[in-house]
Amino acid sequence: MATGGFSSKRPARVRELLERQVESGFVPGAVGVLARHGEVHVEATGTLAFEGAGSGTPMAADTIFRLASMSKPIVAACAMTLVDDRTLRLDDPVDDLLPELADMTVLANPHGPLDDTVAARHPITLRNLLTYTCGIGVLPTKPGRVPIVDAVNALDYSSPDEWVRGLGKLPLSHQPGEHWMYDTASNVTGVLIARATGMSFGDALRERVCDPLGMKDTAFSVSGEDIARLSTAYQRDNAATGEPVVDDGPDGRWSRPPAFESGGGGLVTTAQDFFAFAAALLAGGSHGGRRVLSRPSVTLMTTDHLTSAQKAVPGFWLGNELGWGFGMSVLTHPSRFGPSVGSYGWSGFYGTAWYNDPAEDLTAIFFLQRGHTGDQRLPLWHDLWTAVYQAIDD
């Protein structure tokens, strides 16, 4: 018998897959959320760490996880609250608030020397930032091979002002609006939000998105007694012992406020917090009777804005199935394992992933904490998403 559109038994398959990751020693614990037609399943298994602090603490809906690149949709939503109240406009140049990025130059060859440039044909707009077409971003290449990549990696993160000042001294890789390029735009958006609101990026995010949605554990750091709920993040296995290597623990980078609040990947959150955000988008911008975003803003965020030419950046993973909305991907072609065209969401470096499927009224969220496992091409994600859609029964 089904309730809320899920089979009474099949959501257990999702839990079994998460338990398999724990039992194999791949991660110490994991949390998943499935929601449809008002029915919500939270599947938590394992503990916060393999050993040491957190090794005896069970995973739960209020366990704190590092979002990495899953921070990006929240950043985009914050920017759109400023569009809703007319503080910012999508197609206005950002020069007034970010004068460091006015009158930019552009590399004649994206892989060429930094001093071989031409003038930018257009100023950078907020729409360019949210669609990742501002002209600069990360490239999948090894250090030393592309000068602009090394220059961006060497920027000073001691403060937002210092970082954007350094960025403004560099040329763009492409003309604004020409190509989709990952990551850097979200950090620029964070600086823009701070200057537009006259407060720190973190405070603006809290006031405009987190507090209205009740996301009390979503921030750029964890402090006080909440540290006990922060799961440990791991990297690849030690080459000599085969044991997982700690990447960040309770006393690591997220245990203190950062000098640079990274919109590209600096947030922590919990399953219950992120579900509030996802549910608000699926409901058209409101949650718990409180509107955070206008419905048109949600539509803009969750609609593909890219042309084929804009996606044609060698080495990136949008491919033929995915487009890009504001700060997140949008499925543009039928998936092999269930999600409907129009599904949207994103994943993160430490093995986090979220997608909303409006056609199915479905939200699915997964939190692991192991480096390099957010890649949705990995078999574990194919298995998880297949199990999610097999659980639907109506």
Per-residue confidence (pLDDT) for residue 190, from 0 to 100: 98
CATH class of 2-77+200-390: alpha beta
Going by their DSSP bridges, the two strands 329-331 and 344-348 should be labelled as antiparallel
Measuring CA to CA, how many Å separate 151 from each of 26, 131, 143, 313, 324? 35, 23, 10, 19, 26
Domains 2-77+200-390 and 88-197 share a fold: no
- pLDDT tens by residue, 319-356: 678 899 999 999 998 877 678 999 999 999 999 999 99
Rounded distance between C-alpha atoms, residue 27 and residue 39, angstroms: 27
Per-residue confidence (pLDDT) for residue 314, from 0 to 100: 61
Helix-helix angle 11-23:379-390, to 10 degrees: 160
Q: What's the average model confidence in pLDDT over 297-318?
A: 85
Lowest mean pLDDT among 46-55, 176-185, 332-341, 358-367: 332-341
Domain limits, the chain:
2-77+200-390, 88-197
Per-residue confidence (pLDDT) for residue 2, from 0 to 100: 44
Q: Give the CATH fold of the 88-197 domain.
A: Methane Monooxygenase Hydroxylase; Chain G, domain 1 (1.20.58)
Helix-helix angle 184-197:160-168, to 10 degrees: 120
Checking if the pLDDT of 3 tops 60, the result is no
Per-residue confidence (pLDDT) for residue 318, from 0 to 100: 67
pTM: 0.95
Rounded distance between C-alpha atoms, residue 392 and residue 394, angstroms: 7
Checking if the pLDDT of 110 tops 60, the result is yes
Mean of per-residue pLDDT scores for the chain: 94
- pLDDT tens by residue, 261-299: 999 999 999 999 999 999 999 999 999 888 999 999 999
Contact indicator for 6, 36 with CB cutoff of 8 Å: yes
Going by their DSSP bridges, the two strands 29-36 and 39-46 should be labelled as antiparallel
Q: What's the average model confidence in pLDDT over 149-175?
A: 97
Per-residue confidence (pLDDT) for residue 144, from 0 to 100: 76
Residue 20's contacts (CB-CB under 8 Å, 6 or more residues apart) are: none
% of the chain residues with pLDDT over 70: 97
Rounded distance between C-alpha atoms, residue 380 and residue 226, angstroms: 30
Checking if the pLDDT of 45 tops 60, the result is yes
Checking if the pLDDT of 139 tops 90, the result is no
